[in-house]
C-alpha cells in the first residue's frame, strides 16, 4: 500500500507542474480498491500542492531571463497576466486546481511575489476540495 501512496503523491506532484499528468484517475482507482479516503485525499493534496510550489518558484525566478532569446513569454503576455492577477487577486489561487489555467495561476503567483504561506493556504484549500470531490464521486459508484 505504501507504493500506492508514493505513486499517488508522484502523480499528483507532476499533475501540478507544467507536465500533462492526471492524478484524479489514480485517486479514483485507489479509492475503488478500498483505500482509505482520508489518507488518499491527504496524500494527493500534499503532492499536488507541493507540485504547485515548483511553479511558484519558477515564477519567482522567471523574469530574470526575459531578455534571453530562448525565453518563451513576451513582455505583452507577462504584462497581461500580471494585470489579470492584479484584477482578481490572490483569491484566484483557490482556482489553481482547474485543468486549464490552474498551473498558469501558480506561475503568475510566483511572478507577482505572493507570500509562500498565503500561496500554500489558498492553493491547498482549492486542491483539497478537488480531491474531496473525487472521493465523494468515487463513493457514488457501487463496487
Query: Residues 6 or more apart from 116 whose CB is under 8 A from it?
Result: 53, 56
Give pLDDT, residue 84.
Answer: 85
- φ, ψ of residue 53 in degrees (nearest 5): -65, -35
All structural domains of the chain with their residue ranges: 2-140
Under 8 Å between Cβ of 21 and 14: yes
Cell of 59: 515564477
Query: Mean pLDDT by 10-residue block, N- to C-terminus, for the chain (143 residues)?
Result: 92 87 92 93 97 94 80 79 87 89 88 95 96 89 60
**pTM of the shown model:** 0.87
Widest pairwise Cα distance in the chain: 56
Q: How far is CA 142 from CA 36, 133, 137, 139, in A?
A: 16, 17, 11, 7
Q: Cell 480498491, residue? A: 33
Percentage of the chain lying above the pLDDT 90 cut: 59
**Over the stretch 108-124, which tens digit does the pLDDT of each residue have?**
899 899 999 999 999 99
> Of 35, 37, 59, which is closest to residue 128 (Cα–Cα)?
37
Amino acid at each position: 500500500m505504501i507504493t500506492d501512496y508514493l505513486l499517488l503523491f508522484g502523480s499528483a506532484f507532476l499533475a501540478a507542474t507544467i507536465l500533462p499528468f492526471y492524478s484524479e484517475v489514480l485517486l479514483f482507482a485507489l479509492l475503488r480498491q478500498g483505500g482509505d479516503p482520508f489518507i488518499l485525499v491527504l496524500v494527493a493534496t500534499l503532492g499536488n500542492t507541493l507540485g504547485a510550489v515548483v511553479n511558484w518558484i519558477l515564477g519567482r525566478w522567471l523574469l530574470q531571463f526575459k531578455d534571453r532569446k530562448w525565453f518563451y513569454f513576451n513582455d505583452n503576455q507577462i504584462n497581461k497576466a500580471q494585470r489579470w492577477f492584479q484584477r482578481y487577486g490572490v483569491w484566484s489561487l483557490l482556482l489553481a486546481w482547474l485543468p486549464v489555467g490552474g498551473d498558469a495561476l501558480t506561475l503568475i503567483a510566483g511572478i507577482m511575489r505572493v507570500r509562500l504561506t498565503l500561496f500554500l493556504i489558498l492553493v491547498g484549500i482549492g486542491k483539497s476540495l478537488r480531491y474531496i470531490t473525487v472521493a465523494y464521486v468515487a463513493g457514488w459508484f457501487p463496487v
